[in-house]
Structure 1
Amino acid sequence: MSTGEPEAVDAFEQLGLTSYEAKVFIALHQLGAGTAREVADITDVPRSQVYSVAESLEDRGLLEVQQANPIRYRPVSVEEARDTLRDQFEREQDRAFEYVETVKNEPAGEETQEDIWTVRGRDRVDDRTVDILSQAEERIVFGTRLSELITEPIERALAERAAAGVAVIIVSRREEIKRQFAGVEGVTVEDPPAHRTDDQRSGRIAIADDDGILLSVLGGEGGETAIWSSGSLFATVLIQLIEASDEMQVQ
């Protein structure tokens, strides 16, 4: 898809330039070099504004100024401009996220609440499942009735934790899931209790050690919705309740 000037101006704005800066920069590349009058003639940037815009572009390292009468401006090469804007974007990104890193764990002055989270959408549930499984150090219980809910990253996370010595139990009555893990060392596949029937809305359950859990249901616009908790009293109690019931006999 070809990009027109309005789209290019929008893109430059996303990179931090103003609309006038983008238009002047583009105009100078069209001209090769030019005066404020020549730039104003081919853009909607007033001539009186070209001077201040050019000064700003010079500060950004995107053009050079020839001290002539009248003053002439020449843009840096496209490749140099690309590198300059990339470096500036990365610096600003670092500044922004460095600040977030400094404040994210600061006490908020509130009573500590249990961390119970909701995540919606198949892809996001996939990602959160991998995160929880990857944290396991002693054991994993993973249950589902649908083979498509065991994505390649999830299968890889289960195999990697098993290889690291984590006890991995897959709970499913599906033959394709049993075959999927038949040759994976350290992974055991068990049937759920015989009296339990498949709930068509059930998604998956992932338990990591004694304090990480994710439970999902299918349906709704997002396709899948899960609650999850890790390192919390809620997670510990919920895991104990599940394992004390006859829904999942895990020793």
Structure 2
Amino acid sequence: MTPDENEAVEAFERLGLTSYQAKVFIALQQLGSGTARDVARIADVPRSQVYSVAESLADRGLLEIQQSSPIRYRPVDLEEARNTVRDRFEREQDRAFDYVEEVRRESAGEETQEDIWTVRGRDRVDGRVVDLLSSAESRIVFGTRLPELVTESIERTLERKASADVSVLGVSKTAAVREGLASLEGVRTDAPPSHHESDHRSGRIVIVDDDGILLSVVDDDGTETAIWSSGSLFASVLIQLIESSSETPA
């Protein structure tokens, strides 16, 4: 086989055909139609194998069999063959992924979700903060000392939840951050206890209702890492500890 033909055979194999099926199909495209002897002459397939391979290709809708003596084979139109292979591939793909999805659903129903998750990277933490804020039903506490950690999407989410009668409190020791949060409609602001003045590693804190929390730290290189939990006993207890000690870091 030429390198191009070898690549074509390998491509057909990835689409679900065997090597012999691909070779017979390609040979018949070259011939237009032919007998098993004709196919074996130009394809690297033993003549004894051509009959069964041709039958399997006919079952797939890729060639037609003429009941003559000797039996002759003719490939279907290329566009018809292309559609047949594509449809079969898509059906097999759907069957495979439907099964995997079912297994995943069953597994998810049996396992207990972990209480604490870790998120690394500014963009991923941004997304998790917005997701947590969006889930709030009664109250939000959002705090940070860094203006760059109050993104536009966070501001929009805070205003949207405030307009939906969610109590929204912004906390920061940085005046510029408090002023920015106070400019958002429906958002109240406050400053944390003064003994947090020496805190130079805290990133963000998010408290949502009574069972959702996110805490992040910022490394010297600016990388942000957060832990978060929602709908868990861990989150509820941690929120109670933070609020009972009045040590909301920001």
Q: TM-score, normalised by structure 2?
A: 0.67
Equivalent pair of 2:54/2:73 in contact (CA under 8 Å): no
Task: Quote how far apart the aligned CAs of 1:235 are.
Answer: 1.2
* Structure 1 gap segments, 5+ residues each: none
Equivalent pair of 1:129/1:154 in contact (CA under 8 Å): yes
Which residue in the other structure is 1:95 paired with?
99
SS at 1:226 equivalent: strand
Q: How many pairs does the alignment contain?
A: 235
Task: Quote how far apart the aligned CAs of 1:26 are.
Answer: 10
Cα separation, partners in 2 of 1:119 and 1:153, compared to 1, 3 Å:
same
Instruction: Measure the CA separation in 2 of the matches of 1:84 and 1:19.
Output: 14
Task: Quote how far apart the aligned CAs of 1:227 are.
Answer: 1.6
Matching residue's letter, 2:148: E
Instruction: Measure the CA separation in 2 of the matches of 1:54 and 1:220.
Output: 68
Which residue in the other structure is 2:109 paired with?
105
Q: Name the larger-Rg structure.
A: 2
1:203-218 mapped onto 2 (5 Å cutoff): 203-218=203-218
Structure number with the higher helix fraction is 2
Matching residue's letter, 2:233: L
Cα separation, partners in 2 of 1:101 and 1:114, compared to 1, 3 Å:
closer
Cα separation, partners in 2 of 1:140 and 1:222, compared to 1, 3 Å:
same
Equivalent pair of 1:9/1:22 in contact (CA under 8 Å): no
Which residue in the other structure is 2:73 paired with?
71
Deviations 1:51-72 (A, max 9, x none): 877777776x6x5212144423
Matching residue's letter, 2:104: V
Instruction: Measure the CA separation in 2 of the matches of 1:188 and 1:230.
Output: 23
Equivalent pair of 2:144/2:172 in contact (CA under 8 Å): yes
* Structure 2 gap segments, 5+ residues each: none
1:117-156 mapped onto 2 (5 Å cutoff): 117-156=117-156
Matching residue's letter, 1:230: S
Instruction: Measure the CA separation in 2 of the matches of 1:197 and 1:54.
Output: 81
Instruction: Measure the CA separation in 1 of the matches of 2:150 and 2:26.
Output: 53
Instruction: Measure the CA separation in 1 of the matches of 2:9 and 2:202.
Output: 47
